Structure 1
Amino acid sequence: MQFQLRHVLSRAAHWLQLTGGEPMIDRDFLKAYAYAYERGMLLEILTNGSRLHRDEVLDTLTRMPPHKVTVSLYGASEEAADSLTRTKGSFRLVMKGLEAARAAGIPVAITLIMTKHNEHEADSMRDIAREYADRFSEYGSISPTYDGQPDPLAAQSPRFLGGNTVFRGCPAGHTFFHVDPFGLATMCKVGRENPIDLMTNGVAGLHGLPALADAQMLRTGGCSGCKLSGTCRVCRPMAKAYQLAKAPLENYCQHREGESA
């Protein structure tokens, strides 16, 4: 993350969530983190835990404590976790990170990513979370990629689909926004249409974001005129990603196959 972008964000935000992919692989991660911390920002890190054990990371997070560190757990064994991440040794690294964070006194939360790869280890994953985390949650709604590619849907476990609350609206683009590594700001990490280039426009460019966000929330395409919109559990940008991926309706919609969506 370049200095100019850090300067823009420090003037535009009070809460900063560092995520990815894996944010700690960025060579400027620790510098950006320290820059934001020194300006009084409330910091949250979403991480796969693979670099949480590193001395320089532990030193920074101990001296400048984050508001929250959330670690994603993809299984309770190397076989399950590594098959999902497609990275040999990923489970070993996340466990090493959890051990190191506990020893350093850095509190973490854990998100259990429930899939076909690890559903048989659900209870063991919960045991790990109870041992290493102050709190944990379970997430099973694996979505398509942001540009509508269907590959991640193959990992969904029917056992853990559903359960989301009714969508009642979202302040994305109004009270918070998403910025990618290139300084392009969008309403959120899912709704990435019509990005605003912060490197060119600076903070002033964010004034146009609310209107762009409102436009992306309008029900269009297959969702236009839906009679079940009052009990829908998916926001419009996410529904669009599912539609682009040609996902089965039961993955995201209350309608059945063959009915109008």
Structure 2
Amino acid sequence: MHLLQEDRSRDIFCALQELYGQHLNRLCQKFCKSNSVEEVKGVAVATSEEAMEISCLEILRFQEKIHGSYTTFVESLVDQFAAVSYGDFVFGQQVAIYLHRKVEPAVRLAAWNALSNAYVLELLPPLDKCIGNAQGYLEPLEDDEKFLESYAKSWTSGVLDKASQRDSMAFTLAKHHLSGSVFQSSDSGKTLGNKLVKLLIRCYAQKRHHEAMLKSFVLQDIAQDSKSSGNELDRRFEILKDACEMNSSLLGEVQRLKASLGQ
């Protein structure tokens, strides 16, 4: 914070963040297009066989390339962010980079859990203000059960309530990946999807103010002006009903949610 409180150093730091974002975007594009192994400005970019090993995800390998205990550093940084940043926008951008999909899973999970436990997810900037392209934080869809359960825990515990009101990237992230897991997953992910639906619906039953959040979850990525939007919405409510597994109280909550959307 001392660095960010001085105008000149803050300007330099912001410029470095912009350059870092541009560099990250280029790395992501290079990684997806290239069929060779190359070194780009000191960051290893693997493709072909090696790319398969790291699932085309971990361009930002902080733990591997910097230090094995990098998760401890991230947790310490989040503690500082919670204690002294007062929601500083630039500080928030710097912390949010650890939630990028190209970051190692261990580091991403440590960052999310630390932010959630400190109740500061709402202090992160909107997704379109984060370092790098917004899609880098959203794609590919999260399929790791540990992450999805952490997102659901933050949602049901109320940690994301303010984040949803303040357009924080944290709510956008959790909603996108949870919705994708439930409505876009294959049959193999149905068990986890059902578990997530039950958690969210039970939370909705207990916390009426979550209605707007759950509506947003159901409507995620549905084009409102599309002719097929009605059919897609019907399909999603069928998925929610199936996930309730004949539990009458949960089915009643799903019906109430459907009615609130004018269905």
Same-fold call, TM cutoff 0.5:
no
More helix by share: 2
More strand by share: 1
